Amino acid sequence: MTVLLSTIDLWAEEIPDFVMKQAGETFQRYVEWKDGEETLTFPIITDYHAHDRDSYKHIGYLVETDRLFGYDFMINLGDIGLNIGESHTNKAHARDIILKTRAEMGKFNGVFLYVPGNHDWDGSEGTHNTSNFLEDVFQRPNERHAHGNLHIVPGKAYGYYDIPEKNVRVVMLNSSGTETLGENYYTFDNEQLTWL
């Protein structure tokens, strides 16, 4: 299989050879597993905690693989990690990471959903970014792109998305929401479960 490399405008570097090589190998395994069956394909990104690193580039790498896999949509479940490192103390730096992340997501022609995690908003984690700012950057543009099929509970980080022309509803929850920080940390709070 021959894979052509392209350029990501944001940092003007070619996609690394190893990225597309691994993507091609993964695609071959996927085709064998799929075995001709109709399958919804949607990569999920979560917990990559970019903060002071350039991890947002991995979203650009993923978008490049769409021409191999033909994704139905993509989901970013958040936890960019804005409460760590310089982004924890520098509001402009934190917002720059968010905007770069959004720019990479915007290169995907399909629907790319973003659901903020507990490390991304203005809650007890202590970031400088308000939930309204995150909604402005991520959710509202996607809601327009999704033609009204994206339903986020107002002021919350969970909801659902109905895939056009497919009998599929994707439900999005934030598993960091919990009433206690003991052994059951990775659970869903009662408010989300009641809504579900």
Q: Which amino acid is at 147?
A: H
**Residue 38: φ, ψ to 5°:** -70, 125
CA distances from 23 to 17, 18, 48, 104, 157 (A): 10, 8, 19, 18, 30
C-alpha neighbours within 13 Å on the C-beta side of residue 22: 7
The predicted-structure confidence for 106-122, as pLDDT tens digits, reads as follows 999 888 988 877 777 76
Tokens representing residue 26 in the block:
């993964």
Name the one residue in this structure whose structure tokens are 């021959």: 2
The predicted-structure confidence for 164-194, as pLDDT tens digits, reads as follows 777 888 888 877 655 555 555 667 778 888 9
pTM: 0.74
**Residue 45: φ, ψ to 5°:** -110, 135
Instruction: Tell me the C-alpha distance between 156 and 139, whole Å.
Output: 11
Q: Is the pLDDT of residue 157 over 70?
A: yes
The predicted-structure confidence for 42-64, as pLDDT tens digits, reads as follows 999 888 777 667 888 889 999 99
* H-type alpha helices, the chain: 17-34, 57-64, 66-69, 86-89, 91-105, 131-134, 140-145, 190-195
